[in-house]
Amino acid sequence: MLNLVWLVPALPLAAFAAISVVLWRDRRAATWAAWLAIGASWLIAWAIFAGTWGQPQLATEPVRVGILTLPTGAEFLRLGFMVDPLTGIMLFMVPFLCLLIFVYSRGYMDGDPRYSRYFAYVSLFATGMLGLVVSDNLLFLYVFWEIMGLCSYLLISFWFEKESAYRAGLKAFLTTRVGDALLLLGLLLLYSRTGTLTFSEIFQADVLSRLADTVVSLPLLGTVPVAVLASLLIFGGAVGKSAQFPLHVWLPDAMEGPTPVSALIHAATMVSAGVYLVARMFPLYAAAGPGNGAMTTVAAIGAFTALFSATIAVAQNDVKRVLAFSTISQLGYMMAGLGIGAFVAGVFHLVTHAFFKALLFLGSGSVIVGSHHEQDMMKLGGLRTRMPVTFWSFLAGTLALAGVFPFAGFWSKDEILAEASHGGHMLVYVVLTLAALLTAFYMGRQVCLTFLGQPRSHEAEHAHEVTPFMYVPVAILAFMATFLGLMGVPADFPILGKLLGENPFHHYIGEMLTLTGAHPEAHGVNWPVMLISLVLALLGLFLGWLVYGRRPLEAGQPDPLRRVLGSLYPVLENRYYVDEFYQATVLRAVHWLSATFTAIDSRWVIDPFVNAVGRSFGRLASRSSSFDGRFVDGAVHATARLADAAGRALRPVQTGKVQDYLLVVATTVLLLLGVFIIL
């Protein structure tokens, strides 16, 4: 069964090919092709996932399927797919979410002129994400990673008539490409140092320790172990894809794409690929010992991003933008978790977050469709009664994200916090806890502004519930967001721990840690941490309600927070002016270089030189031509004239009379005889 893993990405790929070549004329056929492919791929994926339960040896000896062999001189590069617990849990999450989102898209994209193209693109996207998680080597991972980048570009700029949409697509591709270039370098560094790109071969204990012991010296950084350098470069790719500071700028703009795309790509799957990458390479990160440069960087960037973008989310008014910044913040949580060594907790949060963030995005999509494409929260309100299914589902997602017991986010977020506190990473712990408070606050704000109070616009006034194609997937996700966390309940949690059996998630994923030489150990419940985070979550929600729910805003009334925060509010609203900073520095520098080089090429240096050479040859040619005319030709002409003149001079001799000739002959003979005699 596990050998069929190649089918998981292959089926959506087939759907993509079929739709883009043949089926695009027929919307129904296109829909069904996409649905059937992802459905089949989901069934196979869950079967594979089930097959990996109770198979701890898969962590160190994954099932591998060879796909491609490339000769490299005398050696070979072998690439393929594999199954291990980390892949297994991603196969549990990704295809299921894809399926729900595909179904939802049927409702959301209804009537769009490029409907079939949409399904082709998302199918290719699913190929990318599924291929990524089943790759057994970094190179395939990179290939699928870039295919997702392509799909992301195409889907963000899907409505390419809109300037904001195509600009956002471009920004997403270029920003992530910066990270990808680093990832490529990291990949090549590993390849040139180990001769392989296959995970299980890189993660051999002797290879890892060799990478940790060999150092390279770099300018500025000094001597760095290869393992750390490669980890940092690879992390560059993760920073781009998972929108971590400083490459986070593309994700909020990516909300220009259709909302199911936001859910699929920019919440549930693609952005988590960066976290997956770090998790996948975790043995390499850990190779140089605890607290090494790579791990510290991951933890620092993750924690900083978590707090940084949570503050921005507080001051956003677009339904989807709040969620976008929330996503960046939550991805920071996961990164921070991995960076402090809390591998299992990081992956756990990756899985639960995917579900409840997909829920929130699809919910916001329903809000947008239901209220006639109004997405400014200041103009919404009162949707609770108008869209009840959406409201209750969205609320479940909110509670999960805020981390309220017993929703999914509570367990996973708490585990990261507990690990941070347990491992003595107090700074990370404090920063993440603050971020948690802000998270609960902005979600409280969003729910109050969107669903409570009275409608603040005509569109919201006439909002209606969406079609079953849309609310059924949302409701299913709400169910998952509520109960999914139970698979990772600490074993010593009262009642639940015993009931659910010794933290199954930890047992399943924890096996991966044997690759690092560490023993997977589950910590017990850390009551102070758990209670503090629960209290803060409730406090945040309460504050949100206090500001926006107790006395609902009137239409046109400014955000009360504006008064509270004073001059800080515009800074948050404008996202700390990071975009403007890049515009003024990086982009301007590239433009300047490009213009300067062009001038060097065609106006200043190279072409003028070439033209000058051309001209001087031209002058040389005309010089030589005049030389030709005067001297060479002159000589020729002179010769001719000489011959002519000689001819003329001798003409009188030719008289035609025999006696004259005889006279000449006789004279000559006499002369010659005279000469002979004298000699």
289: left (phi over 0), alpha (psi -120 to 50) or beta: left
Quick one: which H or E segment has residue 450?
A: helix 426-451
Q: Is 614 in the site for another protein (CB under 8 A)?
A: yes
Q: How far is the CB of 170 from another protein (least distance, A)?
A: 5
Compare residues 261 and 360 and give the one whose CB is closer to another protein: 261
Compare residues 147 and 477 and give the one whose CB is closer to another protein: 147
Rounded distance between C-alpha atoms, residue 79 and residue 131, angstroms? 12
Q: How far is the CB of 593 from another protein (least distance, A)?
A: 5
Contacts to another protein from residues 115-144, by CB under 8 A:
139, 142-144
Q: How far is the CB of 129 from another protein (least distance, A)?
A: 14
Compare residues 12 and 365 and give the one whose CB is closer to another protein: 12
Compare residues 161 and 521 and give the one whose CB is closer to another protein: 161
Q: How far is the CB of 185 from another protein (least distance, A)?
A: 6
Compare residues 65 and 475 and give the one whose CB is closer to another protein: 65
> Which of 25, 54, 74, 656 contacts another protein by CB under 8 A?
74
Q: What is the DSSP string of 340-378?
A: TT-HHHHHHHHHHHHHHHHHHHHHHHHHHHHTTT--BGG
Q: How far is the CB of 71 from another protein (least distance, A)?
A: 4
Compare residues 617 and 627 and give the one whose CB is closer to another protein: 617
Compare residues 195 and 424 and give the one whose CB is closer to another protein: 195
Q: How far is the CB of 621 from another protein (least distance, A)?
A: 12
Compare residues 27 and 422 and give the one whose CB is closer to another protein: 27
Q: Is 523 in the site for another protein (CB under 8 A)?
A: no
Rounded distance between C-alpha atoms, residue 231 and residue 223, angstroms? 15
Q: What is the DSSP string of 235-303?
A: HHHHHHHTT-TTSTTHHHHGGGS-HHHHHIIIIISHHHHHHHHHHHTHHHHHHT-TT-HHHHHHHHHHH
> Which of 57, 69, 625, 626 contacts another protein by CB under 8 A?
69
Q: How far is the CB of 624 from another protein (least distance, A)?
A: 16
Count, residues in the chain: 679
| SS3 of residue 78 by DSSP | strand
Contacts to another protein from residues 161-190, by CB under 8 A:
161, 163, 166, 170, 173-174, 177-178, 180-181, 184-185, 188-189
Rounded distance between C-alpha atoms, residue 313 and residue 535, angstroms? 21
The residue range among 395-403, 468-476, 604-612, 619-627 that interacts with another protein, by the rule CB under 8 A, is: 604-612
Identify whether the C-beta of residue 362 lies closer than 8 Å to the C-beta of residue 470: yes
Q: How far is the CB of 367 from another protein (least distance, A)?
A: 28
The residue range among 147-155, 402-410, 485-493, 521-529 that interacts with another protein, by the rule CB under 8 A, is: 147-155
Torsion over CA: 197, 201, 205, 207 (sign): negative
Compare residues 21 and 679 and give the one whose CB is closer to another protein: 21
Compare residues 78 and 523 and give the one whose CB is closer to another protein: 78
Q: How far is the CB of 452 from another protein (least distance, A)?
A: 39
Query: Tokens 């090549």 map to which residue?
Result: 188
Amino acid of residue 642: L
Q: How far is the CB of 17 from another protein (least distance, A)?
A: 10
The CA-to-CA distance between both ends of the chain, in Å, stands at: 123
Give the x-and-dash track for 20-59 against another protein (CB under 8 A).
x---------------------------------------
Neighbours of 35 (CB within 10 A): 18
Q: Is 73 in the site for another protein (CB under 8 A)?
A: yes
> Which of 54, 72, 494, 648 contacts another protein by CB under 8 A?
72
Q: How far is the CB of 156 from another protein (least distance, A)?
A: 12
Q: How far is the CB of 320 from another protein (least distance, A)?
A: 21
Q: How far is the CB of 143 from another protein (least distance, A)?
A: 4
DSSP 631: I
Contacts to another protein from residues 191-210, by CB under 8 A:
191-192, 195
Residue 500 burial by Cβ neighbours in a 10 Å radius (0-12, 13-18, 19+): middle
Q: How far is the CB of 211 from another protein (least distance, A)?
A: 15
- 226-241 helix and 293-314 helix, angle to the nearest 10 degrees: 20
Compare residues 119 and 410 and give the one whose CB is closer to another protein: 119
Compare residues 80 and 510 and give the one whose CB is closer to another protein: 80
If binding means CB under 8 A, how many residues of this protein chain bind another protein?
A: 52
Q: Per the structure block, which two tokens stand in for 253?
A: 């703009």
**CA distance to 17, 205, 274, per residue, from 512 (Å):** 35, 14, 18
Q: Is 147 in the site for another protein (CB under 8 A)?
A: yes
Q: What is the DSSP string of 580-605?
A: HHHIIIIIHHHHHHHHHHHHIIIIIS
| SS3 of residue 511 by DSSP | helix
Q: How far is the CB of 617 from another protein (least distance, A)?
A: 7
Rounded distance between C-alpha atoms, residue 476 and residue 550, angstroms? 30
Burial call 438-456: b when 16+ CB within 10 Å, e when fewer: bbbbbbbbbbbbbbbbebb
The residue range among 63-71, 515-523, 549-557, 620-628 that interacts with another protein, by the rule CB under 8 A, is: 63-71
Amino acid of residue 470: M
The residue range among 94-102, 335-343, 522-530, 588-596 that interacts with another protein, by the rule CB under 8 A, is: 588-596
Name the residue among 151, 180, 162, 152 with its Cα closest to residue 254: 152
Rounded distance between C-alpha atoms, residue 90 and residue 99, angstroms? 14
> Which of 70, 496, 663, 669 contacts another protein by CB under 8 A?
70
Identify whether the C-beta of residue 517 lies closer than 8 Å to the C-beta of residue 205: yes
Rounded distance between C-alpha atoms, residue 116 and residue 379, angstroms? 32
In the complex, which residues of this chain contact another protein (CB under 8 A)? Answer: 20, 68-75, 139, 142-147, 150, 153-154, 157, 160-161, 163, 166, 170, 173-174, 177-178, 180-181, 184-185, 188-189, 191-192, 195, 590-591, 593-595, 597-598, 601-602, 606-607, 610, 614, 617
